[in-house]
């Protein structure tokens, strides 16, 4: 039985699963073979989302310059995602709806099984043209 647990653990490290809420879609990916979507860091939550047809807004192209890729980590401890760096923390401070488990999808590299929620207001906000939702200046208005 121990060998089964060990193999299962190794498999999960090699082929992490990411569940995106609220759609409740789970995808597996092999970081060694998944193509780089060229938005955000390679194997980031954004990279995984784009490679699997999951809509995760990324107004700045995954350059840690907006907060539209904001996600909330629902399960998976800190070892399942890369450690937050200072530039992500600084940018995240501007995210509306910030929580203690918030991350930027373009900066958080997936290292193991994790479940993240894409805030529904975030999905709607950008797709509806970025009009005011009384979130202050956290997200700049769209360019005309």
Binding region for ligand FES (CB under 6 A)? 58-60, 62, 64-69, 91, 104, 106
Burial class of 125 by CB neighbour count within 10 A (0 to 12, 13 to 18, 19+): buried
Residue 83 CB, shortest distance to ligand FES, in Å, is 17
**Cβ of 113: how many Cβ atoms within 10 Å?**
17
Which residue number, 76 or 92, has a Cβ lying nearer to ligand FES? 92
* Angle at alpha carbon of residue 43, lines to 105 and 9, rounded to 5°: 110
Q: Which is nearer to ligand FES, 23 or 65 (CB)?
A: 65
Smallest gap, in angstroms, from Cβ of residue 3 to ligand FES? 40
Rounded CA-CA distance 46/58 in Å is 8
Q: How far apart are CB 36 and ligand FES at their closest, in Å?
A: 15
């Amino acid at each position: 039985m121990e060998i089964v647990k060990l193999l299962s653990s190794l498999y999960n490290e090699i082929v992490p699963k990411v569940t995106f809420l609220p759609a409740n879609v789970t995808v597996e990916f092999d970081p060694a073979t998944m193509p780089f979507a060229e938005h955000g860091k390679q194997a980031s939550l954004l990279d995984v989302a784009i490679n699997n047809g999951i809509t995760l807004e990324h107004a700045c192209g995954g350059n840690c310059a907006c907060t539209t890729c904001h996600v909330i980590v629902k399960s998976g401890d800190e070892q399942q995602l890369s450690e937050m760096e200072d530039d992500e923390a600084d940018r995240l401070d501007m995210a509306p709806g910030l929580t203690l488990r918030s991350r930027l999808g373009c900066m958080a590299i997936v290292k193991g099984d994790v479940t993240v929620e894409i805030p529904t207001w975030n999905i709607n906000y950008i797709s509806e043209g970025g009009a005011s939702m009384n979130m202050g200046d956290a997200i700049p208005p769209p360019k005309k």
